[in-house]
Each structure stands twice: as structure tokens, then as C-alpha cells.
Amino acid sequence: MEINNEQLKKLFELSELDIATSEAVPDDITKALIAIERKLLSFASDAVSVPAEFNILIVDDLELSIYQFNQLLKKVGIVPTVARNKEEAMAELKKKKFDYIVVDLFLPDAEDGLELIDECIRLRDAKRTNKIIVMSGTDDKNLIEKCYKLGIDEFVPKSSNWHDQVLKFITSSLTSKEHENFFKYSINDNICCYTVNKFNSQKQIDSLLKDVTTSLYTGYTNIVFNMENVKIFDDEYTGVFTDLFKMCKEKGGNFMLVKISDSVKSALADAFLDTLIPIYSTVDAAVSKISD
């Protein structure tokens, strides 16, 4: 069906996109339709608000997975760009900035996925990409750890509901007002809890230590670290826990860990810190111990 100039003008007005009808191309019409769809979805439900210029790249070589994820993303008004191999993905990355990149690790080999992740990280450093999510059916811990060390933001096991998990990560990131690396809140006048999101680079840790130091000097002598979001841990940072333990003790308080992963447990045991630093399964349990 052809669209005349009057209809085209009305379409762009409804979409609130600044596009001149005389310069419009087919891609502009698609953008306008997507923008209108998002508006309708926002009226019909409490779906997450997606920015008008929002781009997601999906890299997967399975058509069924692509179709299923496409259908799910449409529910929140997102129409992704799709690449079916490393080469196609590289070409798309050169064209525009992506807010999220969802990569199947095996394309068809893990080496292809790792090379693509490495390129995504390089472009992110150049401020052209944002968050990187890797999905895979592998349970190889070394391979998963390698992905995190490269700098990915999330690893999602490719189970039957992986699409939901990826969408949950994306929507929570869009609506979250938390600090990228950590979120802190006070329990009372002397207990401060940190939900740690990232613990895999010296820059992130330096920022965290600076904030903890500020908390200690403003009266929060008891520090609780909730580590449930830290899935992979590099043991080269184990010494940081010793520093935090000493800092709290010097102020007459306590340093406690909550919901630590097997990687953190192993690192603490190797450094003989597992008997020194209290570890709890919940924040409430840690706070109750301090309050006793």
C-alpha cells in the first residue's frame, strides 16, 4: 500500500519524530511505526519505557531463537537488528551505536563468539556500545569466566527461558537508578549495606573503596557487602577484602559478606580469610548479628 504525503506527514506527527516528508526513506517510516507502537504499549500496560533511539543487536545463528526473541522484544516496543554470524555482526557494529548487544557464544565455535565479544568491548571503550550480554548452553566455568574477564555485563544460560532472562536484564537496566558498579543504602545510623554489581576491575574497586571510606568516616562503622550479583571473581582482588576488614576494625566495626559465589568462597579459603570475615546467606542475618 502506498502512502501519500499527507498520510506520511500525519505518521511522523504521531510518532513525534523530526523527519521531513520530502526527505523520508523507507527506514524512516519503519522508525515512525515503531515509535507509535511503543506509545500504544505504554498506554496499554506498565511496560518499561524505551527511549526512541534505542538499538539492540542480536547475534545468533539459530532462526528459532531469533524469532522467539524478536516476538518477546516487540512486547516492549523494541525491534532489534539481527546478525547471524560474526562477520554480519562486525558489519552492523560499524554502521551505528548499539545500546545492548546480545551474543550467542557459539557462532558456531566459541572462538568466534570470544572474538566478537572482544571487538564489542573495544568499541565500547570508544563509547560506541553499552552493555554486552552473552548467552550460551555451555556449563564450562573457565569459558564463562573468560567472558566476564573480557568485560561482559551478563551471562545468561541458554535454557528454555533465556529470552525472558535477557529481557529482564535489559528492562531492569533501563529502569534502574542504581550506581553502575554498586548501590548502597543505610540500615541504621551505623550499618551501611552495599549491593555490589561489579567487582572485576581495579577502577571499579577503587571507586567502591573510596565510597566505603566515606561511609566509615561519616559514622557507618559496620559495612555489609551483598555479593549476589558478582558471579565470577578473580582471586587477584582477594586482598581487597582484607583491606575492608581492617578498615572496619579500625573504626570499631565489622565487615561482612552476604551471598558470595563459589569463586569468592574459594578465593577466601585460599587466603585463609574464610574464618576471619563473617559470611551470611542474607543481609537480615548479617544485620541481626551486628545488632546482637
Domains of the chain in start order, with CATH, are 1-46 (no CATH), 47-175 (3.40.50.2300), 182-291 (3.30.750.24)
Q: State the pLDDT at residue 129.
A: 61
pLDDT of residue 1: 45
**CA–CA gap between residue 69 and residue 63 (Å, rounded):** 10
Give me 270's grid cell: 585460599
CA–CA separation, 103 and 61 (whole Å): 10
162-194: burial string, b at 16+ Cβ within 10 Å, e else: bbebbbebbbebeeeeeeebbbbeebeebbbbb
One-letter amino acid identity for 237?
A: Y
Its sign, for the CA torsion 212, 216, 218, 223, is: positive
Do 224 and 192 contact (CB within 8 A), yes or no? yes
Instruction: Give me 110's grid cell.
Output: 566459541
Confidence at residue 3, expressed as pLDDT on a 0 to 100 scale: 65
For residues 292 and 288, give the distance between their C-alpha atoms in angstroms, rounded to a whole number: 6
Q: State how far the alpha carbon of 231 is from the alpha carbons of 155, 163, 215, in Å.
A: 9, 19, 25
How do the pLDDT tens digits run along the chain, 292 residues long? 456 777 777 677 766 677 777 777 777 777 776 666 555 444 333 444 555 567 889 999 888 888 888 887 876 677 889 999 999 999 998 888 888 899 999 888 888 899 999 988 888 765 556 789 999 888 888 888 888 888 888 888 887 778 778 887 777 666 554 456 788 888 888 899 998 988 878 888 888 898 898 889 888 999 999 998 887 788 888 999 999 999 999 999 999 999 998 889 998 999 899 889 999 999 888 988 887 6
CA dihedral 237, 239, 242, 244 (to 10 degrees): -50
Give the bridge partners for 292, in sequence order.
none
> CA 256, 226, 177 angle in degrees (round to 5)?
140
What pLDDT score does 43 carry?
Answer: 39
pLDDT for the residue numbered 235: 83
